[in-house]
């Protein structure tokens, strides 16, 4: 399995059929690990956070196929450099998803771009402003 670029470290298998977009799987996996990252070591803390931000951007139509190279590069930078294997657990599946499903990612990015352009030309009423989940907390001074 390891040779195939997969990982069974957590002892679980997630079965996903072909109707589920690989982008959704990648985002789900990345968000899970970014949420679970303790933040102690740099590659995991920043790598998972960066990966989530990149995937979200691609999904929202702001990405380009070149981002996939950066995405793959970031995964390589995480693997093997962390204190524990949590970072690796995200980097290995995301990395292999990009490698094995690159075309699907590219199609998804393209579709998202078109959707977004259409939205710019024919805007729908905007939802109420929300605090972005990518910004940090604002702890109040005592």
Q: Please report whether residue 64 would count as binding another protein according to CB under 8 A.
A: no
* Binding residue (CB under 8 A) for another protein from 35, 124, 127, 128: 35
* 22 vs 74, beta carbon nearer another protein: 74
Q: How far is the CB of 109 from another protein (least distance, A)?
A: 15
Q: Alpha-carbon distance 63 to 67, whole Å? A: 6
Number of Cβ within 10 Å of residue 139's Cβ equals: 6
Nearest to 92 by CA among 61, 46, 48: 48
Question: Are residues 84 and 71 in contact, defined by beta-carbon separation less than 8 angstroms?
Answer: no
| Contact residues for another protein, defined by CB under 8 A | 34-43, 45-50, 53-54, 57, 70, 73-74, 77-78, 80-83, 132, 134-142
């Amino acid at each position: 399995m390891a040779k195939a670029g997969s990982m069974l470290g957590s002892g679980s298998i997630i079965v996903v059929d072909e109707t589920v977009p690989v982008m959704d799987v990648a985002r789900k996996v990345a968000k899970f690990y970014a949420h679970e990252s303790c933040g102690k070591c740099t590659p995991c803390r920043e790598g998972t956070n960066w990966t989530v931000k990149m995937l979200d951007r691609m999904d929202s139509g702001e990405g380009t196929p070149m981002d996939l190279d950066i995405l793959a590069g970031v995964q390589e930078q995480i693997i093997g450099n962390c204190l524990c294997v949590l970072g690796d657990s995200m980097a290995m599946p995301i990395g292999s998803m990009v490698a094995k499903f690159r075309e699907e990612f590219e199609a998804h990015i393209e579709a998202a771009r078109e959707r977004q352009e259409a939205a710019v030309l024919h805007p729908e009423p905007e939802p109420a402003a929300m605090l972005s989940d990518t910004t940090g907390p604002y702890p109040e001074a005592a």
